[in-house]
Amino acid sequence: MSAQRLSGKVALITGGTRGIGREFVERFAREGASVVFTGRSVDAGSQIEQEAKARGENVTFAAGSAASEDDVRAAVELAVSTYGSLTTVVNNAAATHLTGPGRPDTKVADVSTEVFDEIVRIGLYGTFWAAKYAIPHLIAAGGGAIINISAASSVLSITGRPSYQSSKGAINSLTRQIAVDYGQYGIRSNAIIVGFTNTGGEEMTKMVANEALMAPVRKTIMLPRLGLSSDIASGAVFLASDEGSFITGVLLPIDGGLTCHLEMPDTASAAALGD
């Protein structure tokens, strides 16, 4: 069995009860990290904690919302009091329940101030608070890693979702700012640009099964498959590990090539029209 890449690390993971967040919790624990993770679902969080402890892993659930500064601060303090230090933060929490097809994060002229505020509060403010309260502990630990989860739509906009895309764009800037301000203390700050990812779950399963919907999605991805939660977790483990110790200020796309091209007509074929 290979050595655990995160042995000795203590990680706080926000939004860890489902999808990519749950994959982070399970992978980080499997790689040897002690993990505190947050989420709003007490039932889901408690089950994940119990299953991890049954495997002999150090995993603790902190019920709370990334929209609450008090909850975020309490989660940071829980990590330190439970495991003695804090070396790693993964800011994954996002208001995905408010954005996407049929949800209230529509277009700028139509989205309500309340919806915009809630999405930004969970995604951007939650990320800011976790970093704000974690940084003194990372400095005390001699350095560490902050990994912010962003989205392809922060780089190339798609129709709708102005609140979500605004929060992710701001997270990209915040990521670089932390890298600039705290690199001298050995703190590395990076973001992962997540593309279309099959996270499982009932809604995603239905979406992936709808080929009429998925055909244009597959066309934007340069590789011949969809992304998986495990792909994103692999990137996060690398950035959190000592293997990524000289990487900071990076926005790392894990999107199958989605953000590396523009969806335009084939210019080579178009050139033939001039003959």
User: Where in the sequence numbering do the catalytic residues fall?
Assistant: 164
Q: Is 188 exposed, middle or buried (0-12, 13-18, 19+ CB in 10 A)?
A: buried
Which structure tokens are listed for 15?
């939004």
Q: Is 198 left (phi over 0), alpha (psi -120 to 50) or beta?
A: beta
Q: Where are the beta strands (DSSP E) in the chain?
A: 10-13, 34-39, 59-63, 88-91, 144-151, 187-194, 197-198, 227-228, 251-254
Q: Give CA–CA dist 159/195, Å, rounded.
A: 15
**Size (the chain), residues:** 275
The two beta strands, 144-151 and 88-91, are parallel
Could you give phi then psi for residue 99, rounded to 5 degrees?
-125, 155
Q: Give CA–CA dist 64/213, Å, rounded.
A: 34
Cα 247 to Cα 52, 144, 179, 187, 256: the distances in Å are: 30, 11, 10, 10, 21
**HEC profile for 122-179?**
HHHHHHHHHHHHHHHHHHHCCCEEEEEEEEHHHCCCCCCCHHHHHHHHHHHHHHHHHH
What lies within 8 Å, CB to CB, of 184 at 6+ separation is: none
